[in-house]
Amino acid sequence: MAFLIYGINPVSEALRSDRCRITEVWIAEGRSFKGLEGIISMVESKGVPLRRVGRSQLDSLTKDALHQGVVGSIEQFAYADLDAVLQQDQGEPFLLVLDGIEDPRNLGALIRTADACGVWGVIIPKDRAVGITPAVAKSSAGALFHVPVVRVTNIATTLRQIKERGIWVVGAAAEAQTDLFHHDLTIPLAVVIGGEGRGMRPLVKRECDLLVSIPMKGKVNSLNASVAGSIILYEVIRQRGSTHRP
């Protein structure tokens, strides 16, 4: 079953990626924008069929989403295998585990940050959470096609498997007594971010080796899930890039 993606960055990154195969690209007739030449060049070099169609047809394909005049079709999105992800050799293991993110924009933003921070792979649950959708691809600005995404039946069980491989599990929790800036995050690590509103589920929280909080000085006592995740991921790479421990 075809999987449609839309927007300049998602289509461009899908064409650059070796993690998916784009089968067709549609461009709005008369559309001219920065990056169009690059997309057309990649389409031609890969022998991908290119069609110029009316903008209304693209609106119909994407259900009026902001497609920027470009739509692509890829083969069914392929989730990654956890064992394959853990076989990477890129320094200390670094995973992002999402326990019930329901907003595709948050999932896309977290995948985009994961790519920027060098995360080995993103793990999401099959149930009670958003999966990979065209909206996620758009929100990730195409990073989805460069970061392995693993979909599992049970997050708690998966965390136990991860810990058996010597990887520490750190969960984001507002009630944690010590903030993330006072924990050593240079160790092999899996960062767990809970769902919007409810946070981590109790069973998942119990599997965490340690909990960290983000210092809050304002009157609002919580952060958007994608913002919180981004802060923690960047603190990990800050520490790993330093010769000093916190």
pLDDT in tens, the chain (246 residues): 578 999 999 999 999 998 888 999 999 887 666 667 788 889 999 999 999 998 898 988 888 888 888 999 998 888 999 999 999 887 899 999 999 999 999 999 999 999 999 999 999 999 989 999 999 999 999 999 999 999 999 999 999 999 999 999 999 998 888 889 998 999 999 999 999 888 899 999 999 999 999 988 887 767 899 999 999 999 999 999 964 444
Residue 246 included in any domain = no
Instruction: Determine whether 153 is exposed, middle or buried from the number of CB atoms within 10 Å of its CB (0-12, 13-18, 19+).
Output: exposed
Element (H, E) at 53: strand 50-53
Question: In one letter, which amino acid is 102?
Answer: E
7 is a domain residue: yes
Domain that holds residue 68: 3-74
User: What angle do the packed helices 225-240 and 104-117 form, to 10 degrees?
Assistant: 10
- Indicate if 56 and 143 belong to the same structural domain: no
69 and 39 in contact (C-beta within 8 Å)? Answer: no
C-alpha angle 78-227-111 in degrees, rounded to nearest 5: 15
23 three-class SS: strand
Measuring CA to CA, which residue among 198, 4, 188 is closest to residue 100? 198
Number of domains composing the chain: 2
Report pLDDT for 61: 86
* C-alpha span between 29 and 142 (Å, rounded): 23
- What is the per-residue pLDDT for 119? 97
Are 153 and 63 within one domain?
no
Q: Which of 29, 49, 74 is the last residue of a domain?
A: 74
Please give the torsion angle defined by the CA atoms of residues 148, 47, 133 and 232, in that order, rounded to the nearest 10 degrees.
40
Quick one: pLDDT at residue 242? Answer: 62
Structural domain includes residue 245: no
- Which value, to the nearest 10 degrees, does the dihedral of the CA atoms of residues 230, 231, 234, 239 take? -150
The predicted pLDDT at position 33 comes to 63
CB proximity list for 60: less than 8 A, separation 6 or greater? none
Among 51, 74, 97, the domain boundary falls at 74
Q: Indicate which CATH number applies to the domain containing 11.
A: 3.30.1330.30
